[in-house]
Structure formats: C-alpha cells, structure tokens
C-alpha cells in the first residue's frame, strides 16, 4: 500500500516538474517572440512620373518601398532623417486612382504625401500630423525632432512659417509670412528653411526680398529682428 502511494506521489511530482518546464519553455518562447528585432529596409529605387499642379506636365519622381519584416508597408521618396537611434522619418509616396466615373479601368498616378515616423524597435509606421503642410508646395527641413516648412492655408491664399516637433499635436510656430503664389511647379512657395545649431535658429525666405529668422529656446519661439541679427 505504501509503495503504491509512493508511486502516485512520484507521478504527481513528475507531472508538476514537466508542467513547470513546459510553462517556462512557452514563456521563454513568448519573450523571444516579443523581443525579436524587426527588419526594416528600403527597396530599390523606381523611376516614376507625377503631375504638376495643372496636370499638364509630367514630372520625374524617384520612389522606393519601405519594408518591415519583408512586407511592404509604404512607398517613400527622398532621403530619410534619423531623429534618434530608434526613430526616423521619411517622405511618403502613394498611387492615386485618377479614373473618371465613366472610365472602367483604373488610372494610377503617383503622388507625394506627408512624412512617416518609423520605429525600428516596434516596426510601427505612422503618418505625422503636420499642420498646414502642403504635399505639393511645402519643402521640409529637419533638425533633431523639429521640422520646419512653409505651410499653405486650406484656401491656398496664405503662406505660413511652421515649425513642428515630433510628439506634439500643435506646432510650436505658425506665423503668417505673406500670400501664397500658387505656381504650377512643386516646392515653389519657398525654399527649405535653414537651421542653425548654437543658438538654435531657423530661417525662412518666403520670397527674394524677405527673410524671417526665429530663435527656438525650450520650445519657445522668438522672432529675431534684423538689428539683433546684424549685431551678432
């Protein structure tokens, strides 16, 4: 009787040991699955065409795929910018169906989009919310986690100097700098703003005879006058 009870106890102990070992093994597998690094790469460049503002002129555009773990997440254009060793941003490109209601076949046309934020650790790709950013006219310039560009109002009449920061919903700067030209060529409203490191400044040149300089201190933006700029 004692021998039989000992056998039963031994079986229970073995079952407990096997169960614990299986749980540990499964737990380790789950941890490995969650910590598995994502492979984020760009595909080969593709030559494409996109149209100017009037739709009368085809423009050259270079695009390439953004792949996460061998799957195409988005298409991009231009060079990426490293925000941190974990995050980077890159300009989005996509195809729009230009077919009219009475046309049965799709007519795909390439377009430039906004900016994407890519997390190398999680593999997450998200589109940044950039106020007044115009995908056709706005030319962006990055420094650290700040982006500066000339934005265009919804009615296409006003031009804004905009500075936004990754992770913030509202821009830290949005200032009216004149009227928008509405030319047919892309990036024609104003050139890419110019950054300076020490002190941190950004310069907008909305037209040939106008320059506006802003100093950024702890997310507070000050206008630098021509007199101050000359003294320094």
What are the tens digits of pLDDT across the range 170-218? 999 999 999 998 899 999 999 999 999 999 999 999 988 889 999 998 7
Q: Is residue 23 part of a domain?
A: no
Q: Which residues contact 114 (CB under 8 A, 6 or more apart)?
A: 91, 92, 127, 128, 130, 133, 135
| SS3 (DSSP) at 193 | coil
pTM recorded for the entire structure = 0.80
Q: Is residue 28 part of a domain?
A: no
Domain boundary among 101, 128, 155: 128
User: Does residue 50 sit in the same domain as residue 93?
Assistant: yes
Find the domain containing 201 and state its range: 129-232
User: Does residue 139 sit in the same domain as residue 214?
Assistant: yes
User: Does residue 228 sit in the same domain as residue 157?
Assistant: yes
Q: What is the mean pLDDT of residues 98-109?
A: 94
| Side-chain half-sphere exposure of 72, counting CA atoms within 13 A | 11
Domain boundary among 128, 152, 182: 128
CB 178 within 8 A of CB 187: no
Domain boundary among 128, 159, 177: 128
User: Does residue 40 sit in the same domain as residue 76?
Assistant: yes
Residue linked to tokens 């990754």: 166
**Structural domain count, the chain:** 2
CB atoms within 10 A of CB 84: 11
Lowest mean pLDDT among 25-39, 87-101, 142-156, 184-198: 25-39
User: Does residue 114 sit in the same domain as residue 135?
Assistant: no
DSSP H or E segment with residue 226: helix 226-231
| CA–CA gap between residue 189 and residue 215 (Å, rounded) | 22
Q: Is residue 68 part of a domain?
A: yes
User: Does residue 139 sit in the same domain as residue 44?
Assistant: no
Q: What is the mean pLDDT of residues 112-130?
A: 97
CB 87 within 8 A of CB 120: yes
Q: Which two tokens stand for residue 162?
A: 């905009």
């Amino acid at each position: 009787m004692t021998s039989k009870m000992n056998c039963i106890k031994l079986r229970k102990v073995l079952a407990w040991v096997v169960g614990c070992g299986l749980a540990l093994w499964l737990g380790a597998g789950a941890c490995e699955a969650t910590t598995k690094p994502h492979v984020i790469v760009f595909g080969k460049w593709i030559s494409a065409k996109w149209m100017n503002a009037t739709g009368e002129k085809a423009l050259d555009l270079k695009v390439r795929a953004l792949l996460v773990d061998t799957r195409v997440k988005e298409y991009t254009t231009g060079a990426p910018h490293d925000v941190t060793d974990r995050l980077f941003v890159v300009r989005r490109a996509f195809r729009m169906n230009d077919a009219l209601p009475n046309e049965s076949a799709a007519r795909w046309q390439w377009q430039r989009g906004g900016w994407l934020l890519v997390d190398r650790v999680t593999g997450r790709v998200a589109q940044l919310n950039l106020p007044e950013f115009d995908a056709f006219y706005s030319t962006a310039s990055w420094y650290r986690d700040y982006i500066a560009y000339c934005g265009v109002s919804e009615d296409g009449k006003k031009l804004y100097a905009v500075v936004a920061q990754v992770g913030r919903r509202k821009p830290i700067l949005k200032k009216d700098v004149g009227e928008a030209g509405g030319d047919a060529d892309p990036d024609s409203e104003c050139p890419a703003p110019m950054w300076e490191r020490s002190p941190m400044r950004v310069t907008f040149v909305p037209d040939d005879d106008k320059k506006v300089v802003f100093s950024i201190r702890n997310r507070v933006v000050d206008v630098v006058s021509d007199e101050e700029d000359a003294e320094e």
